């Protein structure tokens, strides 16, 4: 049941990315800056359209690659997957929850980075000073999700060893 909430979180982050990215894309200048010089102004630049396709490409590739294992688990693509992730097994639910929530966190991180770049390229009156707070929170979230993964895998290994 929990993996349904994680799936909903993933879907909400996908929709949020689409809406936020389209808004940000429309407000970006023709040349998008992504590096700051000593004075705090953007100087590493790329074309707005190239930026659009790079961000969309990263978003699609990460979502497809990271959701594929969950889809394989849900469909029971092979006998080994069916055996390891049996329906009704709490480990299956926990792994599906972890995968979908992790992809949601990846999507949130892409949103935060794109919003930071938008602030970097906007005028201070419109977007305010670029705040890197979200950029500092992202590694903490990744560490937390990685620790949770290791806890889940350790529990599964202990249960497999105790069943032998």
- Would 14 be classed as within a structural domain? yes
Backbone angles phi, psi at 27, to 5 degrees: -95, 0
**Radius of gyration (C-alpha) of the chain in whole angstroms:** 20
**What stretches of the chain show up as alpha helix (H) in DSSP?**
2-27, 48-75, 79-84, 90-121, 124-127, 133-163
DSSP-derived 3-state class of residue 89:
coil
- Would 140 be classed as within a structural domain? yes
- Would 164 be classed as within a structural domain? no
Confidence of residue 159 (pLDDT cuts 50, 70, 90): confident
- Would 163 be classed as within a structural domain? no
Give 114-140 pLDDT, tens digit per residue: 988 888 887 655 656 666 777 888 899
Q: How far apart are CA 80 and CA 151, in angstroms?
A: 22
* Mean pLDDT value of segment 86-94: 85
Q: Give the pLDDT score at 117.
A: 85
- Would 90 be classed as within a structural domain? yes
Q: How many domains does the chain have?
A: 1
Single out the residue of 161, 149, 4, 147 nearest to residue 91, CA to CA.
Answer: 149
Q: Give the pLDDT score at 128.
A: 62
DSSP-derived 3-state class of residue 158:
helix
């Amino acid at each position: 049941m929990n993996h349904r909430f994680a799936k909903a979180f993933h879907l909400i982050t996908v929709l949020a990315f689409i809406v936020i990215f389209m808004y940000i894309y429309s407000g970006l200048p023709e040349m998008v800056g992504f590096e700051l010089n000593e004075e705090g102004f953007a100087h590493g630049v790329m074309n707005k359209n190239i930026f659009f396709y790079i961000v969309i490409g990263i978003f699609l590739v990460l979502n497809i690659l990271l959701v594929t294992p969950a889809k394989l688990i849900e469909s029971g693509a092979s006998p080994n997957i069916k055996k390891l992730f049996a329906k009704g097994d709490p480990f299956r639910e926990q792994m599906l929850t972890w995968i979908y929530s992790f992809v949601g966190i990846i999507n949130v991180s892409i949103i935060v980075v794109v919003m930071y770049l938008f602030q970097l390229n906007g005028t201070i009156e419109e977007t305010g000073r670029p705040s890197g707070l979200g950029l500092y929170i992202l590694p903490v979230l990744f560490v937390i999700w990685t620790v949770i993964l290791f806890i889940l895998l350790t529990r599964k290994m202990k249960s497999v060893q105790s069943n032998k």
